[in-house]
Amino acid sequence: MARERRWRGSLDDRFRPSPALLVALVLACLTLITLDYRGGSDSPLEPARRAAGEVFGPVEVATAAAVRPFTAVPHWFRSKDSMQDDLMALQAENSRLKGQVNSQDYDRNRLEEYDGLTAAAQSLGYSLVPARVVGLGSSQSFSSTVTIDAGSDAGLRPDLTVVNNDGLVGRVLRVTRTTATVLLIVDSDSVVGGRVGRSMEVGFLHGRGVLGSDGRLDLELVDDTAVPAKHDTVVTWGSQAGGPYVSGVPVGEVTSVYSSLRETSQRAVIRPFVDFGALDLVGVVVPSGTTSERAVIEADGSLG
């Protein structure tokens, strides 16, 4: 046996890894984990992430553009071009109207409150940079993030709000020249300041980390005597500087309410308006007058 092993030496060596190499690899992994875990938001790996983004970003954009005609094939079969256009126009209008209805309660309350007027004026002064989703983080990574095909060249920077026709999508985490990484609000790390449109009660929306049709958010209200009703609409609360989330963007509707004895607060389950499994065209909210390489949709609907 020993003799045979010696005879086949060179072949066997390849299948018997050197322990030193394995130990080195595992230690390298643990070092990376420790560096990134301790570093938090200004981790020493951010430059590496950015570099990887600069390399893989354009490739992802090109790949997504290349497969887009094929993913659109089923649509094409369903209806002719003109019908498709009509359908899209109607869908867009429908989403817009739904958005209006959803934020009606909130808008009425906001008008009644005098100091809300200034916030409204502010939130109307934003423009949108259109972008497409070109990459989706897999659920095996247990984080809900997407890549969009607009980056610092298009005027983006971290902590900008991302919306689509239906409502709030998420916020920009980091940008490269041509792409940006967006944290979806359903991610388990995501916390959004939310406001129940009908009662103006504020609270915090936590993602559950589940994508797809059963993706839900948990709303924890600051005031534990306030009980939201089913089908109440939740909009973003927005912070003073307009970042990371601008105010008044529809997020979702209340599907159920339960009280937690342990934490002595009311919790509501929110169904988001946005279908995160089928994200495509999104808009990034930028301050009005941002210089961008592409057409920016201004607050009054014109292209700037």
Partner 1 sequence: MSAVRALVAVVAVSLALVLQVSVFPHFAWDGIVPNLCLLVVVGAALTRGPQFAAVLGFVAGVALDLAPPADHIAGRWALALVVVGYVAGRVRQDVRPTATAVVATVAASSFVGTSVFAISGILLRDPSLSIGELLQVIGVALLWDILLTPFVLPSVMAMFRRLQPDRALA
Phi, psi at residue 265, to the nearest 5°?
-145, 160
179 binds partner 1 (CB under 8 A): yes
Pairing of strands 180-184, 168-175: antiparallel
- Choose among 188, 186, 113, 127: nearest CA to 161: 127
In this chain, which of 144, 233, 236, 247 binds partner 1, going by CB under 8 A?
144
Provide the minimum distance between the beta carbon of 92 and partner 1 in the complex, in angstroms, as a whole number.
22
52 binds partner 1 (CB under 8 A): yes
Place of tokens 């100091």: 115
In this chain, which of 104, 188, 239, 288 binds partner 1, going by CB under 8 A?
188
Question: Which segment (77-85, 89-97, 134-142, 153-161) binds partner 1 by CB under 8 A?
Answer: 134-142
C-beta separation of 144 from 137 below 8 A = yes
Query: What's the half-sphere exposure (Cβ side, CA atoms, 13 Å) at 11?
Result: 5
Q: Tokens in use for 191?
A: 């916390």
111 binds partner 1 (CB under 8 A): no
- Between helices 104-112 and 81-102, what is the axis angle to 10°? 40
Provide the minimum distance between the beta carbon of 163 and partner 1 in the complex, in angstroms, as a whole number.
18
289 binds partner 1 (CB under 8 A): no
In this chain, which of 129, 211, 249, 284 binds partner 1, going by CB under 8 A?
211
76 binds partner 1 (CB under 8 A): no
Provide the minimum distance between the beta carbon of 267 and partner 1 in the complex, in angstroms, as a whole number.
14
Distance CA 204, CA 254 (A): 13
Q: Which positions from 145 through 174 interact with partner 1, judged by CB under 8 A?
A: 145-147, 173
C-beta separation of 273 from 252 below 8 A = yes
Residues 85-104, mask of contacts with partner 1 (x by CB under 8 A): --------------------
Distance CA 218, CA 204 (A): 8
Distance CA 152, CA 175 (A): 6
C-beta separation of 180 from 113 below 8 A = no
137 binds partner 1 (CB under 8 A): yes
Return residues touching partner 1 (CB under 8 A): 10-11, 14-18, 21-22, 25-26, 28-37, 43, 45, 48-49, 51-53, 55-57, 59-60, 63-64, 67, 71, 134-147, 173, 176, 179, 181-183, 187-189, 208-212, 214, 276-277
